[in-house]
Structure 1
């Protein structure tokens, strides 16, 4: 089948979703207001609460939530065939992911930028909040540790990406100063930033950085992991406008340029999908497509991590409530386009079915390398860009997204640690909380040896934990909408589906961990499963209480949503 068909249908659905469905959500469900004053204004502190241009904030939000996951998930899931992956990415983006991200962002900024974990305590009770925080902490730990390993592997396997990866930090620092201190025109800053990034890619392609076998007594992978954690700690403590926000913004622009290059190559070459629509010749050991498809492809369809980012950093920077639609829903569309591009690159970027099957010899054998290999081949054929430079562009794109997700993850995990400290009566400074996060992350990453492979130790739990987190976030949004007497079906239907698939996937994994005697993963899976079921039950009970209680009214003059919540009404 010609891949151009998937491009036209997929892009058409996502663009239509933004212009039609997100407009419906914004006007009828979330009822976004032009006059409401967001926490970025009422609580502005120049560090976390900063009113931000919606295009800059979109760049921060998009690249923070994207990471490597919308590449890794689809690149692995196409082992079941391109059709199931395509359907889940397109339908999931339009009707679930955009709605979820908008909902988390909207709910948080209406409550002083509070995290989804704090909102769970407010709307379903302290017990639910405590269990929620356990899931969030483990989810962020998985992201931070695993992405450190993913980035280090890419820097070692594609040394041409080293210079643009670290040079992007200097570009981001310049952009932050140009926007907020020098007050430069945003389009000019954007063009200069993108040109600088792609110039760095050209330089990197000519001057690859290959580390010696031992640097300061560390292997190349271990050295990059340590440097990444040091960088993430510093970046997470700096005011968002200095590095985090401009870095994410310029990365978002370079991603769209990179996607433009990739999609232009698709249009010119119109490559044939060599992989089957439904793969009936699965390698031994490949798990059942249902429910694992729906937890393997998380980012790019729906991801609980998005809700953590939306309520952790993005909600504190929202200039206008109406920007929620562009930042939240269009952020999900951007990720959906990346996932769609990944599906095409990993199923049409090989000459024959035999070449494709040589890569997909087992489950989890795809991933970023398959995306870089297949995508660079298409770009080289379609646009004449040398294979080495094409690989550098795609690898840098993956590294920069993973890095922005990692530093945002450390920042968010610092918030969670501080919140846990408040619960137990200990006030932790940002530096102390960050130190705890780094120590735990580094300890996990090197727990399996000096190569840092321990960072992937609990990664098998990411898919189910991430989707459970998404379902629980939707449950909080559902309670809020019920208390406001607004329609809940656009939230409730996806909530039931995602929760069912995630719980099913977690139960399937319990059997796998038992069979392989992976006792740590088994114990963590049990903890996450029990916590998620408990929170879900309490959320549904809270929804029922909200339905029976008097309706709550939100006013644009409120700096925080009314304190009369279903939990408090019960007491």
Structure 2
């Protein structure tokens, strides 16, 4: 199959979804009001609540939700064939992720920018809130612990990425000062930031900084993990305009430039997709495509983590309610474009079908390596960029997005502790510094307590990320659906995705339950049972809340 045809069909589908479906949702379902006073203005504090230009906020939202997951998930899922992954990414982005992300921002903005977990208590019930908060905490624990491992691994394997990865932080600090202190033109600042970032990427291969395998008895990757958490803790306490916003904005621009380079390389190199449309010769041990496809590709189709970002940081920075469409829905479209690129690189970025089979000789292989190696191959053949430089470019893309997700994730975990303090009337827990220490401490306990000296503990529970993440997506859609019913608006646009996601999550959890039992992995077996029970409770709460509200609506006034 010609990769250009697949690329053009995918981009056309995403564009049509944003131009028409998102417009319908914004105007007819959410009925976004340009005069509504958003929490960013109502509670403006210069730290967390900051009215923000929609392009800058889109950059924050997009890069926070993107991370490494829309690369890893699709680049693993193509083992079942490129067509199922392609269809789920495009249809999932248009009909699931877009309305999920925009809906979470809208729901939060209409409720004083509270997180979707916190406002569940008002919208659905206290039992649902308790389940939601636990699931959120577990998911953030996974994301923060695992992304630290991913970034550390990339910097250990690709030392040419170290200078641009850390240099991007300095660039972001300068950009923040130029935008908010100097009131510089956004266009000028954007050009300066992008030029500086790509200059660092160009310098990276000339100044590779290799962390020793062991430093004073500490493994090199573990030292990177400790450094990353130290940085993330400091970043989570800084005002959003100082580092988080400008870092995410510049990263968003460089991703789009990177995607343009990658898509242009596909046009010029005209590669053939070597992976089968449906793979009937699966390696031994590969699980069934249904339902696992729908939890393997989460980010890039629909992801519960997006609801945390939407209601955790993005809603606190929204200048106008009408910006929900651009920030939330178009943010999901941007991630869909990244997932599409991952599919193309993981299926067409090989010299032969044998090379592709070697990469996908077992389930779970591919991921970031397939994206970097396949993308570098296509870029080198398409536009003549040396493969080493192309690999550095793609590695930095993956590391920077994992880093921005980790930045936001730790701040969100801090918010969870603070919201617990508010719910249970514990003033000490509401203090930002204490909440941050607890957030970092819990991640490090998982990383080093479960993983040992190399700090890879998060990887132990990572197999449950997909199902836990999709459970969270179902919970978020539940909150949005209940709000729509209360307002007397059509609910099927959120209820249909909700039902699909919950059914597939329950199915996947049952499939994993059997797999963990057969493997004798009783730790994951117990955790799977916990998440399964939570999923069932969510389904019951969903049915109960909607039945109650429909009954109230049918009573004569």
TM-score by length of structure 2 reads 0.98
Listed one character per residue, the Cα deviations across residues 364-404 of structure 1 (whole Å, up to 9, x for unaligned) are 11110110000000001111111110000000000000000
State the partner residue of 2:197.
197
User: Where does 1:495-506 land on structure 2 (aligned, <5 Å)?
Assistant: 495-506=498-509
State the partner residue of 1:525.
528
State the partner residue of 2:538.
535
Work out whether 1:435 is the aligned partner of 2:449: no
Deviation at 1:540, TM superposition (A): 2.3
State the partner residue of 1:28.
28
Q: Distance in 1 between matches of 2:31 and 2:119?
A: 19
State the partner residue of 1:561.
none
Work out whether 1:467 is the aligned partner of 2:506: no
Work out whether 1:72 is the aligned partner of 2:72: yes
State the partner residue of 1:554.
none
Q: Distance in 1 between matches of 2:26 and 2:365?
A: 40
Listed one character per residue, the Cα deviations across residues 120-145 of structure 1 (whole Å, up to 9, x for unaligned) are 10111111101110100001111000
2:39–2:49 Cα contact (<8 Å) kept: yes
Moved more, 534-543 or 375-384: 534-543
Q: Distance in 1 between matches of 2:539 and 2:197?
A: 44
State the partner residue of 2:515.
512
Deviation at 1:550, TM superposition (A): 5.3
1:475–1:536 Cα contact (<8 Å) kept: no
State the partner residue of 1:340.
340
State the partner residue of 2:141.
141
Moved more, 294-303 or 503-512: 503-512
Q: Distance in 2 between matches of 1:48 and 1:305?
A: 19
State the partner residue of 1:301.
301
Listed one character per residue, the Cα deviations across residues 11-33 of structure 1 (whole Å, up to 9, x for unaligned) are 00001100000000000000011
Q: Distance in 2 between matches of 1:461 and 1:506?
A: 9
Q: Distance in 2 between matches of 1:437 and 1:11?
A: 38
Deviation at 1:449, TM superposition (A): 1.8
Q: Distance in 2 between matches of 1:526 and 1:27?
A: 41
User: Where does 1:96-495 land on structure 2 (aligned, <5 Å)?
Assistant: 96-427=96-427, 428-446=430-448, 447-495=450-498
Deviation at 1:549, TM superposition (A): 2.7
Matched position secondary structure for 1:458: helix
Listed one character per residue, the Cα deviations across residues 159-216 of structure 1 (whole Å, up to 9, x for unaligned) are 1100000000000000100000000000000010000000000110211111122224
Q: Distance in 2 between matches of 1:420 and 1:523?
A: 25
Deviation at 1:538, TM superposition (A): 1.5
Structure 2: give runs of 5+ residues left out of the alignment.
none
Q: Distance in 2 between matches of 1:448 and 1:314?
A: 33
Q: Distance in 2 between matches of 1:150 and 1:485?
A: 45
Deviation at 1:533, TM superposition (A): 1.9
Deviation at 1:276, TM superposition (A): 0.5
State the partner residue of 1:549.
552
Deviation at 1:542, TM superposition (A): 1.4
1:445–1:455 Cα contact (<8 Å) kept: yes
Q: Distance in 1 between matches of 2:307 and 2:451?
A: 30
TM-score by length of structure 1 reads 0.95
Deviation at 1:425, TM superposition (A): 3.5
Q: What is the aligned residue count?
A: 552
> Structure 1 pair 522/423, CA: closer, same or farther in 2 (3 Å)?
farther
Deviation at 1:477, TM superposition (A): 0.6
Matched position secondary structure for 2:329: helix
1:475–1:540 Cα contact (<8 Å) kept: no
Matched position secondary structure for 2:506: helix
2:213–2:221 Cα contact (<8 Å) kept: no
Deviation at 1:351, TM superposition (A): 1.2
Deviation at 1:521, TM superposition (A): 1.4
Q: Distance in 2 between matches of 1:15 and 1:464?
A: 29
State the partner residue of 1:557.
none
2:300–2:335 Cα contact (<8 Å) kept: yes
C-alpha RMSD of the superposition: 1.2
1:222–1:450 Cα contact (<8 Å) kept: yes
Structure 1: give runs of 5+ residues left out of the alignment.
552-568
Deviation at 1:460, TM superposition (A): 0.3
2:80–2:289 Cα contact (<8 Å) kept: yes
